[in-house]
């Protein structure tokens, strides 16, 4: 009987702790989503991302057109679009529009790259300014920096984003080259790397999502915080992104019928809606990280008071 009572007490204690933890976060998330105007900020962030998409794609096509053959370029662009927009029906529409112009992109890649660079300079500056405004607001950072320094930071983030973006696209070709080199080595050619291919295809995009989120949370705000805060925000952003991707795909495929309502422009509506969901996830995850930070600081303060009492 003592053992049963002990188990009941421990279970009850654990449930109470879990309930207190859940209530603490849910209440504060609700309050902060309201006080920080999360959904309004998400709208502005979506608009900024939409403005950046075209110049970013122009630069990407220009660089990839110099590195890859036409057919390989089509494959990588197709994979990139599938990652950005998970709904096949609407991503196929975007591919169709792009692939009709791909030959022109390759032929005039220098002009395309120049136009994309100029466009990205202006639009990305606004995008990272939006990121910074959102994160500074959530993290309670009021002190700003010189506008010249801010622009240099924006340019650095643009370069970092473009490098990361190109790396993601070129991962598959680089892996194929690596596999070809391995197969030429007699000692390694006998091993089956199919399982490794599966792991990379299945989990590498998730890992890259985490890295991208961590870099934005850590580098964009003006004030540095503990790495654990960035880690918590990035973990939640990655988890929520994967959940949202599957839920959104199911919703658009099986529940909503945007093609019947919007016709040929349905893919634009779906893309904008998906980017808005991503923006909400980005803000929500930052708020979770900030709540964790506030809770940790509160516990440290209580601990110090208890020492001196």
Does 7 map to a domain? Answer: no
Q: Count of domains in the chain? A: 1
pTM of the model: 0.77
For 11-19, which contacts have Cβ atoms below 8 Å and span 24 or more sequence positions?
none
Does 13 map to a domain? Answer: no
Checking if the pLDDT of 309 tops 60, the result is no
Does 22 map to a domain? Answer: no
Determine which helix (DSSP H) or strand (DSSP E) holds 78, and give its type and residue range.
helix 70-84
Tell which wins on pLDDT, 265 or 102. 265
Does 244 map to a domain? Answer: yes
Checking if the pLDDT of 209 tops 90, the result is no
Scanning the structure block, which residue is given the tokens 């969901």? 277
Does 275 map to a domain? Answer: yes
Does 110 map to a domain? Answer: yes
Give residue 63's domain range: 37-304
Scanning the structure block, which residue is given the tokens 């009850």? 12
The answer to whether 62 touches 116, Cβ cutoff 8 Å, is yes
Q: What is the mean pLDDT of residues 119-147?
A: 77
Q: How many residues does the chain have?
A: 309
Does 128 map to a domain? Answer: yes
Q: If you average pLDDT over every residue of the chain, what do you get?
A: 75
Does 10 map to a domain? Answer: no
CA–CA separation, 52 and 119 (whole Å): 8
Which residue, 136, 274, 149, is CA-closest to 216?
136
Tell which wins on pLDDT, 123 or 290. 290
Scanning the structure block, which residue is given the tokens 């990139």? 80
Count of CB atoms situated within 10 Å of the CB of 307: 7
Most confident range (mean pLDDT) of 2-11, 61-70, 73-82, 273-282 is: 273-282
pLDDT at position 88 is 64
């Amino acid at each position: 009987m003592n053992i049963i009572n002990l188990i009941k007490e421990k279970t009850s204690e654990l449930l109470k702790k879990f309930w207190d933890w859940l209530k603490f976060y849910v209440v504060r998330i609700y309050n902060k989503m309201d006080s920080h105007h999360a959904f309004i900020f998400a709208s502005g962030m979506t608009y900024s991302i939409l403005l950046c998409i075209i110049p970013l794609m122009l630069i990407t096509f220009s660089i990839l057109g110099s590195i890859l053959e036409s057919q390989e370029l089509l494959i990588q662009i197709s994979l990139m679009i599938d990652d950005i927009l998970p709904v096949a029906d609407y991503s196929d529409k975007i591919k169709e529009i792009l692939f009709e112009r791909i030959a022109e992109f390759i032929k005039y890649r220098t002009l395309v790259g120049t136009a994309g660079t100029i466009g990205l300079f202006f639009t990305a500056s606004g995008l990272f300014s939006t990121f910074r405004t959102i994160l500074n607001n959530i993290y309670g950072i009021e002190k700003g920096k010189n506008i010249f320094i801010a622009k240099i930071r924006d340019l650095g983030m643009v370069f970092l984003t473009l490098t990361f973006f190109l790396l993601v696209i070129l991962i598959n070709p680089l892996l194929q080259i690596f596999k070809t080199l391995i197969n030429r080595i007699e000692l390694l050619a006998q091993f089956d790397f199919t399982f490794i291919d599966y792991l990379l295809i299945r989990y590498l995009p998730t890992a890259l999502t985490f890295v991208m989120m961590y870099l934005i949370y850590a580098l964009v705000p003006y004030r540095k915080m503990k790495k654990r805060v960035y880690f918590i925000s990035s973990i939640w952003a990655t988890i929520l992104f994967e959940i949202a991707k599957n839920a959104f795909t199911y919703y658009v495929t099986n529940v909503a019928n945007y093609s019947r309502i919007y016709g040929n422009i349905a893919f634009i509506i779906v893309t904008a809606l998906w980017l808005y969901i991503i923006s909400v996830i980005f803000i929500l995850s930052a708020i979770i990280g900030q709540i964790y930070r506030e809770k940790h600081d509160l516990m440290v303060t209580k601990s110090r008071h208890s020492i001196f009492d």
